Amino acid sequence: MKIVVLQDRLRAGGTERQAVFLARSFAACGCETTFVTFRPGGPLAPELAAAEVRHLSLQPVDLGLDWLAPGLCAKINAERPDIVLCMGRMANCHAGHLQRTLRHVAVVATVRTGKHLPHFYRDALRTVSGIITNSAFARRELVEPARPTAPIAVIPNALLVAGLATTDSIVPAEPPYRILCIAMFRKEKNHFDLIEICSRLPRTPEWHLDLVGDGSERAACEARVRELGIADCVTFHGWARDPSPFYRRAAVAVLASRSESLPNFLVEAQSAGVPVVAYDVGGCGECFADGSSGLLIAPGDEAAFRAALSSLLSNPARRTAMARTARDRATTLFSPGRSVRAHLDFFECLLLRSQRTGAAVAG
């Protein structure tokens, strides 16, 4: 099977990490795999260079335009793929045109977001050969309303941070108890409100908020931390290629996002045995078992979020019980091997379906 993975740019987000992982895994399974990006470079580009994956860029130099894909159809057609897997918002906005132009190729759209889909994205869902979502939420709320005719598969994110499930100590024994959030600083991630919530936590037991990631909202959040007088309780760590050390010392993982599909951060936290407190948006509730491995809070209810977080920080025995449940569940549901096999099985079904359709037309 020849596979092209399409992405606008190899930034350090969750979707890009999953895309690189899948491309490398497809190649390891014997599939001839090419990774095509609109823009050259990006933090994750070196990971492709170390694998049996060809990396082609459509823009000869980085023009800073995520949507610009010069020569897209011709470049992909030259690769003679059986499957084109579109990852990310911009790639999926081009998927419909790609499928109409390359009718002999099975173009697969993906929905890995909780945000409203633009017109060209929705059009693609009605045009492509197959659709993959990473959560039941995305299928129900974003894909099915577009009335697609193509087969749909729900394949959860793969757990990508190796070794989290082998950590010896599940729950930190002594304060300060670390509250962890790993997410890009974008408006929908809602760091600003998370900081406000933590600023009103009791100071006993002692806690410390670790914010890992970068983005356009970081400077404003840093300023707000200083205004609230909690700079001694909050650390901005920037982007981390390997977040394992943060998970290993965390007591609770928190996510106050306004929009999600299936956040990698919550999957990783569960695997590391870290209980979760998160708003019930998108597919967050599919990442953990509410009441057993974390606590799901009604969106925007800051008082309830703060109370849930405070209760976990002050109850080590409950955190320990949740941690064990979290690890057992995550390592089963989000196995990398299971994710790769599900993708390849879906691709094979699409190709078989295409062959049957072609034979019926020929007959």
Same domain (yes/no): 148, 42: yes
- Considering the domain architecture, whether residues 74 and 88 belong to the same structural domain is answered as yes
Residues 133 and 52 in one domain: yes
185 lies in the same domain as 42: no
pLDDT at 363 over 50: no
Asked whether residue 149 falls in the same domain as residue 203, the answer is: no
Output the pLDDT for position 286.
93
Q: What's the whole-number mean pLDDT along residues 254-264?
A: 92
**What pLDDT was estimated at residue 290?**
95
Q: What is the pLDDT of residue 360?
A: 47
Do residues 137 and 194 both lie within one domain?
Answer: no
Per-residue pLDDT tens over the stretch 323-349: 989 988 888 889 899 999 999 999 999
Whether residues 118 and 216 share a domain: the answer is: no
Q: How many CB atoms lie within 10 A of CB 109?
A: 31
pLDDT at site 362:
44
Mean pLDDT of the chain: 92
Per-residue pLDDT band at 96 (split at 50, 70, 90): very high
CATH number of the structural domain spanning residue 83: 3.40.50.2000
Largest CA distance in the chain: 75
Mean pLDDT within 244-265: 93
pLDDT-based confidence at residue 173 (cuts at 50, 70, 90): low
For the cut 70, the answer to whether the pLDDT of residue 170 exceeds it is no
- What are the φ and ψ backbone dihedral angles of 239, each rounded to 5 degrees? -75, 140
Q: How many domains does the chain contain in total? A: 2
Query: What value does the mean pLDDT take over residues 168-189?
Result: 84
- Which of the pair, 21 or 168, is modelled with greater confidence? 21
pLDDT the model gives residue 331: 83
Say yes or no: 314 and 189 in one domain: yes
pLDDT for res 309:
97
Residue 44: which domain range?
A: 2-158+335-362
pLDDT at residue number 174:
82
26-78: pLDDT as tens digits: 999 999 999 999 999 998 988 887 778 999 999 999 999 999 999 999 999 99
- Provide mean pLDDT across the span 218-234: 97
Q: What is the pTM of this model?
A: 0.84
State whether 49 and 188 are in the same domain: no
Looking at the structure, do residues 229 and 136 belong to the same domain, yes or no?
Answer: no
On the 0-12 / 13-18 / 19+ scale of CB atoms within 10 A, 316 is middle
C-alpha 350: how far from chain center: 24
- State which H helix or E strand residue 55 sits in: strand 54-57
Alpha helices, H only, the chain? 14-28, 45-49, 72-78, 89-93, 95-101, 119-125, 136-138, 191-199, 218-228, 244-249, 264-271, 302-313, 316-333, 336-362
Helices (H) and strands (E) in the chain, counts: 14, 13
**Same structural domain for residues 170 and 140?**
no
Range 272-282 average pLDDT: 94
Residues 229 and 350 in one domain: no
What are the phi and psi torsion angles at 24 (to 5°)?
A: -65, -40
